[in-house]
């Protein structure tokens, strides 16, 4: 049995529920590997080998040791759940779908930890928002993009079937962390010759909702605007 654990929903973020509603300590009970963001949609979170890293809105990476820090959204799993070693010779985000298509995993949640050397890496990070929180599309306008060339590091991310669009961002959602812990973030695109690592096929999707959080409880999900909103907020990953 392997479980991917998600705290809150993308629809809640789209409903401006951006305040932290779970601590890193709580999150670490459910995984040692994962991705997310911090209180106020503050930058990008990467969890690797149980260590937490924060890429701020300026593109600087910080090692986070305060497990009382909170997250409004995150996805984690235990790397020891990995079911399959994979070599991935495809070079970019678009080709990552081959990992799914080749194994008939379109209906399944999967995760990857992929290591290698990247000729090109493009990430983005958002600056922290304050209450009253703006919409994700407003935040998208202020987020910054960062590029690096010839950098070694790790891709950590999750594949979610289209059925769960709105609960999560369907498709691949991947973060990067460089080996020297100086660069990383939400991956917009990359080029690599060869990546190696672990593919985990999850049979359990555990969705934890912050039911005692007033803002979560009261937010309205705009079902009609959801699909368009997800695309705008997450950006094209190619």
Binding site for its own copies (CB under 8 A): 9, 11-12, 104-109, 161-167, 201-212, 216-221, 223, 226
CB of 17 to its own copies, least distance (A): 9
CB of 147 to its own copies, least distance (A): 34
Which of residues 140 and 167 has its CB atom nearest to its own copies in the complex? 167
Closest CA to 47 of 81, 82, 85, 74: 74
Which of residues 10 and 61 has its CB atom nearest to its own copies in the complex? 10
Which of residues 25 and 221 has its CB atom nearest to its own copies in the complex? 221
Which of residues 6 and 154 has its CB atom nearest to its own copies in the complex? 6
Closest CA to 80 of 175, 177, 2: 2
Closest CA to 210 of 44, 2, 1, 11: 11
CA–CA distance from 185 to each of 9, 145, 237 (Å)?
20, 9, 13
Which of residues 70 and 154 has its CB atom nearest to its own copies in the complex? 70
CB of 207 to its own copies, least distance (A): 4
Q: Helices (DSSP H) in 58-179: which residue ranges?
A: 97-101, 136-142
User: Parallel, antiparallel, or unpaired: how do β-strands 171-178 and 73-77 relate?
Assistant: unpaired
- For 5-21, letters b (16+ CB in 10 Å) and e give bbbbbbbbbbbbbbbbb
CB of 29 to its own copies, least distance (A): 11
CB of 91 to its own copies, least distance (A): 27
Q: Is 132 exposed, middle or buried (0-12, 13-18, 19+ CB in 10 A)?
A: exposed
CB of 202 to its own copies, least distance (A): 8
Work out the number of other CB atoms within 10 angstroms of the CB of residue 112. 23
Which of residues 181 and 219 has its CB atom nearest to its own copies in the complex? 219
């Amino acid at each position: 049995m392997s479980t991917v654990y998600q705290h809150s929903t993308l629809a809640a973020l789209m409903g401006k529920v951006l305040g932290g509603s779970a601590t890193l300590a709580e999150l670490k009970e459910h995984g040692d590997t994962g991705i997310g963001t911090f209180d106020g949609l503050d930058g990008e979170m990467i969890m690797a080998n149980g260590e937490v890293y924060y890429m701020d809105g300026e593109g600087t990476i910080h090692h986070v040791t305060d497990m009382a820090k909170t997250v409004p959204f995150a996805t984690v799993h235990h790397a020891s759940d990995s079911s399959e070693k994979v070599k991935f010779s495809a070079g970019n985000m678009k080709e990552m779908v081959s990992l799914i298509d080749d194994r008939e995993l379109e209906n399944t949640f999967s995760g990857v930890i992929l290591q290698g050397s990247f000729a090109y890496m493009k990430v983005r990070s958002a600056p922290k928002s304050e209450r009253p929180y703006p919409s994700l599309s407003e935040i998208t306008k202020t987020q910054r993009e960062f590029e690096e060339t010839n950098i070694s590091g790790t891709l950590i991310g999750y594949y979610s079937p289209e059925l769960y669009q709105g609960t999560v961002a369907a498709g691949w959602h991947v973060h990067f962390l460089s080996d020297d812990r100086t660069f990383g973030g939400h991956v917009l695109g990359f080029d690599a010759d060869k990546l190696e690592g672990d593919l985990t096929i999850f049979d359990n999707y555990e969705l934890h909702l912050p039911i005692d959080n007033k803002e979560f409880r009261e937010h309205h999900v705009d079902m009609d605007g959801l699909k368009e909103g997800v695309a705008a907020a997450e950006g094209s990953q190619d």
